[in-house]
Amino acid sequence: MFTIEHEFDATVVTLVDQGSPHLQEDVTVNAFEDCVTLEQLDPRTDQVAKITFSLAQLRDLAAALDLPEGVYQLRPIPD
C-alpha cells in the first residue's frame, strides 16, 4: 500500500509494508525539485535514517533496475 501527498515544495510518497510477518517500517519518499530523499525509522535506534539522491542518481537507479550485472554510464541521446 502507498499514499501520495502534494506538499508546497515536494511530492511525498509513503510506502507501507503489508502482509508478511516481518514487516519493515514505512518508507517515505520526498521528491523535491532538485533531489529525492528516502526516510525510514530505524526501530533499533529510534532515529530516522535519511538518504538523498540527486536527480542523476535517481535516473541511474531507475535504469539499473532493468539491466543485467555490469558497469554502465547513461549518455544523452543526440538530437
In one letter, which amino acid is 75?
R
Using alpha carbons, select from 31, 52, 28, 30 the residue that is nearest to residue 40: 28
Q: Virtual CA dihedral for 34, 8, 16, 52, nearest 10 degrees? A: 20
pLDDT per residue rounded down to tens, the chain (79 residues): 899 999 999 999 999 998 877 799 999 999 999 999 999 999 999 999 999 999 999 999 999 988 899 998 888 888 7
Q: Is 12 exposed, middle or buried (0-12, 13-18, 19+ CB in 10 A)?
A: middle
What's the pTM? 0.82
